[in-house]
């Protein structure tokens, strides 16, 4: 069968459309199978896990600090109580016992205050670390959202292009005889 010049042009146009459709399909596959979004998700998951661990460490330090503060409060209450007893006591033996206990309590108080200060420093350092990781995680989350938005827009553009190419292909096929098509 011989094709007219117009039909030959239509066949060439059809092959060009088929080539564009194939390129569109490959671009879509490359976009869907791309590693950029998976890398961003993996980074976000890693930062989320690190943040969770650091927050747990901060919580543990805060509990430890709370216990140290309670212990210090108990020692201070005991010192106040012993000072009151010391003022009220007239027995020399009791006075010596109370004074000895006050010396021990003062040493204990110094030790607890030092421990509390150390814990406060550790809590502050841990808070700073948690804030830094939270900031990094937020940045990673924004990057992932940006990549997903960009990918969605590109996919929508590719789908629209595929629909237009399909319509163009259908029109070109309509211009050919059934035998030639």
Q: What is the pLDDT of residues 42-58, one digit of tens each?
A: 999 999 999 999 999 99
> By the 8 A CB rule, do 155 and 32 touch?
yes
* Res. 180: pLDDT tops 70: no
**Mean pLDDT, residues 16-25:** 90
How many whole angstroms separate alpha carbon 103 and alpha carbon 109? 10
Q: Give burial (CB, 10 Å; 0-12/13-18/19+) of 16.
A: middle
Q: In the chain, what is the straight-line distance between the N-terminal and C-terminal CA atoms, in Å?
A: 12
Query: Which residue is it, tokens 């108080």?
Result: 109
The string of pLDDT tens digits covering residues 71-108 is 999 999 999 999 998 888 888 888 888 899 999 999 99
> In percent, how much of the chain has pLDDT > 90?
56
What is the reported pLDDT for 31? 82
* Res. 1: pLDDT tops 60: no
How many whole angstroms separate alpha carbon 124 and alpha carbon 134? 15
- pTM listed for this prediction: 0.69
What is the reported pLDDT for 163? 92
DSSP 67-110: HHHHHHHHHHHHHHHHHHHHHH---HHHHHHHHHHHHHHHHHHH
Confidence bin at 3 (pLDDT 50/70/90):
low
> By the 8 A CB rule, do 86 and 98 touch?
yes
Query: Which residue is it, tokens 């804030």?
Result: 131
Provide CB contacts within 8 A for 84, sequence distance 6+: none
What is the reported pLDDT for 113? 95
**Mean pLDDT, residues 57-66:** 96
């Amino acid at each position: 069968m011989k094709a007219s010049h117009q039909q030959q042009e239509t066949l060439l146009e059809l092959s060009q459309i088929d080539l564009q459709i194939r390129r569109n399909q490959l671009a879509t596959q490359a976009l869907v199978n791309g590693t950029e979004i998976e890398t961003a998700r993996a980074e976000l998951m890693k930062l989320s896990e690190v943040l969770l661990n650091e927050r747990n460490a901060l919580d543990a330090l805060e509990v430890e600090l709370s216990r140290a503060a309670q212990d210090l409060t108990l020692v201070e209450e005991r010192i106040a109580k012993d000072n009151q007893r010391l003022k009220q006591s007239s027995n020399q033996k009791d006075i010596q016992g109370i004074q000895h206990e006050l010396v021990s309590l003062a040493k204990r108080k110094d030790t607890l205050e030092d421990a509390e200060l150390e814990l406060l420093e550790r809590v502050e350092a841990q808070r700073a670390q948690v804030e830094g990781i939270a900031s990094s995680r937020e940045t990673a989350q924004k990057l992932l959202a940006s990549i997903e938005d960009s990918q969605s827009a590109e996919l929508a553009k590719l789908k629209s292009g595929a629909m237009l190419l399909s319509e163009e292909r259908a029109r070109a096929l309509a211009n050919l005889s059934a035998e030639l098509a």
